Amino acid sequence: MVPRIEDRERPQRADARRNRERILAAAKTIFAEQGIGAQMDDVARAAGVGVGTVYRHFPTKDALMERLVAQHFEAIIAIEREALTIDDPWEAFASMIRSGAALMAEDTHMRQAMLRFPDSAWEHARPENEIVDELGDRLIRRAQEAGALRPDSPVADMPMVMGGLCASIGVPGSDPQRLVEILLAGLRAR
C-alpha cells in the first residue's frame, strides 16, 4: 500500500497536530449537519481555528472529506484486526459486527456524513476499504469453514448489511444491541 501524503510529511509540531485533530472532529459534525455543501469557513469556525489553518492541513474540501472517509475505514480496520485475535471463529465474526455497529451507533454524525460524501471521497479511501474487505473476508471465511456462519454470506454483502443495521440504529427508540443480536441470529448457520 502506498503511504498517504500526510504519512510521508515531516512530523508536525504538537500544536499543529492538535489543530488537525480539532479540524477533523469539527468537519465530521459540520458535514453531517450541512452535507457536502458545508464550507471550509464553517469547519474553521467550529474547530476554533482560522480558515487558513484549515487550508494548510487540507488544501481542498475534497481532501478533508477524503481524510474523514479514510479515518472511518481505519477505525473499522482496527476492529477487524482485534476480532482476528479471537480464537472462536463465530465470536470473532460476531465481535466484528458488534464493534462495527457500536462504532456507528456512537458516531451518528459520521454515519450521516458518510451517506453524503461524493464518490471521489470514497475513491481516495480505496486502500483502506480494500484492507477492510480483505480482513472481513478472512473473518467470514473462518466462521463459514467452522460451520458457524451461513455459507451464503459473502464479504460483498457486509457493507449493505451494516448499512441497513446502522440505518436502523439511527431510528429513535431503537435498541442497537437487540438489533445486532437479531442480525447475528439471522447470519448464524443452523
Q: Tell me the average pLDDT across 94-112.
A: 82
Q: Tell me the average pLDDT across 112-126.
A: 72
**Of the candidates 15, 62, 64, 70, which has an alpha carbon nearest to the alpha carbon of residue 44?**
64
Percent of the chain with pLDDT over 90: 49
Q: Tell me the average pLDDT across 150-179.
A: 84
Identify the residue whose cell numbers are 476554533.
48
Decide if pLDDT at 81 tops 60.
yes
Decide if pLDDT at 117 tops 80.
no
CATH 1.10.357.10 for the 61-190 domain, yes or no: yes
Phi, psi of 188 (to 5 degrees): -70, 140
| C-alpha–C-alpha distance, residues 28 and 51, integer Å | 16
| C-alpha pair distances (Å), 60 with each of 22, 51, 106, 173 | 17, 11, 28, 38
Least confident of 9-13, 78-82, 170-174: 9-13
Q: Tell me the average pLDDT across 139-148.
A: 96
| C-alpha–C-alpha distance, residues 154 and 118, integer Å | 26
Least confident of 33-42, 72-81, 88-97: 33-42
Q: 29-64, pLDDT tens digit by residue?
A: 888 788 778 899 999 999 999 999 999 999 999 899
Decide if pLDDT at 3 tops 90.
no
| C-alpha–C-alpha distance, residues 1 and 132, integer Å | 13
**Of the candidates 130, 107, 127, 120, which has an alpha carbon nearest to the alpha carbon of residue 24?**
107
Burial of 100 (0-12, 13-18, 19+ CB in 10 A): buried
The residues, any chain, with a CB within 8 Å of residue 20's CB and separated by 6 or more, are 12, 57
pLDDT band at 8 (very low <50, low <70, confident <90, very high): very low
Q: Domain residues of the chain, as ranges?
A: 12-59, 61-190
**Of the candidates 184, 7, 166, which has an alpha carbon nearest to the alpha carbon of residue 102?**
166
Percent of the chain with pLDDT over 70: 87
The residues, any chain, with a CB within 8 Å of residue 124's CB and separated by 6 or more, are 66, 69, 70
- The count of C-alpha atoms lying within 13 angstroms of the C-alpha of 138, restricted to the half-sphere facing its C-beta, is 14
Cell of 39: 464550507
CATH topology identical between 12-59 and 61-190? no
Q: Tell me the average pLDDT across 66-84.
A: 92
Q: What is the pLDDT of residue 113?
A: 67
The residues, any chain, with a CB within 8 Å of residue 170's CB and separated by 6 or more, are 108, 111, 112
Q: For the chain, how big is the Rg over CA atoms in Å?
A: 18
- Domain covering 12-59: architecture: Orthogonal Bundle (1.10)
Q: Tell me the average pLDDT across 99-109.
A: 80
